[in-house]
Amino acid sequence: MEKSRSRHALLLCLVFLTMLTPTMESHLRHDYYRNICPNVESIVRNAVARKLQQTFVTAPATLRMFFHDCFVRGCDASVMLVSPKGNDERHSSIDLSLAGDGFDTVVKAKAAVDNDPQCRNKVSCADILAMAARDVISMSGGPYYKVELGRLDGKISTRASVRHRLPLPEFKLDALKAMFASHGLSQTDMVALSGGHTIGFSHCKTVQRRVFNFRNSNKDKTVNPNYARSLRKQCPIHVDPRVAISLDPTTPQIFDNVYFKNLQRGMGLLSSDQILYTDHRSRPTVDLFASNKTAFEEAFVAAITKLGRVGVKKGKHGEIRRDCNFIN
C-alpha cells in the first residue's frame, strides 16, 4: 500500500516534470495558424514561387539561411536582424556569404502575408523562413513535407554569437558530429542535412586549398582527379573572389540524391562533404542515400523537422516582428 502510493507520487511527479520541461517540440504545431491566418501556407508558397522564377539562387539561399538561423540562437530569424553598426549575425565573416536572395525571399513572403488584413503582424518571420525553406526544397524536386509552426522571432542578433556555432568546410567527422549533436541532431541527421548541398554554390576560395599545391598544404587525395582538374580550371589561382561554383556538379539545380552518388566518386566539393564518404563511420549512410532516394528523402525530412525545433522562442523571449529586419 505504502509502496504503491509512493510509486503513484513518483509517477505524478514525473508527469508534472514532463509538462514543465520545455521539450524542443513542445508547442510547435502543423495547424498553428489555422484560425489566425488560414491561408498562410499558400500565400508564402506563391511569393516563394514568384521569387524562384526570377532566380534559382532563391532555393539554395533560403535553405542555407534557415540552417544558419537555427544553429545560431535557434530558429528565430535572428539571422535577418540588421543593427545600425553592423553588429549582427549577417555581418559575421561566415554569414557574409549568405546570398541576398534568401533574405529577399522572406521579406517578400512577409509582405504578401501582411497584405492580408487577417494575417497582418500575426505570422513570425521565423515561421515564414521555415515554410519558405520547405517550399524551395519541394519546388526544386525534393520532398514536400508539413512544417511545424509557432515560432516567435528573437530580439537579439550579434556578430559574436555566430562564432563556433556554424560548421566549417575543413571540419572532420568528429567535429561535424559534435556540432550537430549539440543541437540534438544525430550523425544520420547530419549526413542527411548535408544533402542540402545537392543545390547551390560555393565560392572558389574554399575549394582551391583542396586542388592546388600551396605551401604547407598537401593536395587533398580524396578528390577525384578529373574533378580536381575541372576545379582548377573553374577556380584558377587568381580567380575573381566572387566566382562561385556548383556544390553538386552533376545536377546543380535539382534537389536529389546525386550529391551522395558524387561522394562515392570523390566528387564532393567541400572537404566536409567528401569526409562523409571517406570516414568509414558515415560511409554506410552515404551509400544508403546514394542507392535509395526515398531513404534519403525520409531521413532529410526527419532531420530538417528536428532542425526546425532548435532553440524555438516563446513567451517574453520572442515577438512577432513587424519588419523582419528589425525588432519591434
Positions that interact with ligand HEM (CB under 6 A): 57, 60-61, 63-64, 67, 97, 99, 167-169, 171, 176, 193-194, 196-197, 199-203, 206, 247, 270, 272
Task: Kindly tell me which of 168 and 295 has the beta carbon lying closer to ligand NAG.
Answer: 295
d(CA 125, CA 198): 25
d(CA 151, CA 124): 7
The partner in contact with residue 294, picked from ligand NAG, ligand HEM, none with C-beta cut-offs of 5 to 8 angstroms by kind, is: ligand NAG
Determine whether the annotation assigns residue 251 to a binding site.
Answer: yes
Per-position DSSP letters for 212-255, written without gaps between them: S-BTTB---TTS-HHHHHHHHHHS-TT--TT-EEESSSSSTTS-
Task: Kindly tell me which of 186 and 234 has the beta carbon lying closer to ligand NAG.
Answer: 186
246 phi and psi angles, rounded to 5 deg: -70, 135
Residues that bind ligand NAG (CB under 6 A): 292, 294-295, 298
Q: Please state the closest distance from residue 47 (CB atom) to ligand HEM, in A.
A: 19
Q: Please state the closest distance from residue 55 (CB atom) to ligand HEM, in A.
A: 11
The partner in contact with residue 246, picked from ligand HEM, ligand NAG, none with C-beta cut-offs of 5 to 8 angstroms by kind, is: none
Is the CB of residue 237 less than 8 Å from the CB of residue 208? yes
Task: Kindly tell me which of 79 and 290 has the beta carbon lying closer to ligand NAG.
Answer: 290
SS3 content of the chain, % helix, strand, coil (to 5): 50, 5, 45
Q: Please state the closest distance from residue 296 (CB atom) to ligand NAG, in A.
A: 8
Per the DSSP assignment, residues forming a β-bridge with 308 are none
Instruction: Pick out the residues of the known binding site for heme b.
Output: 197
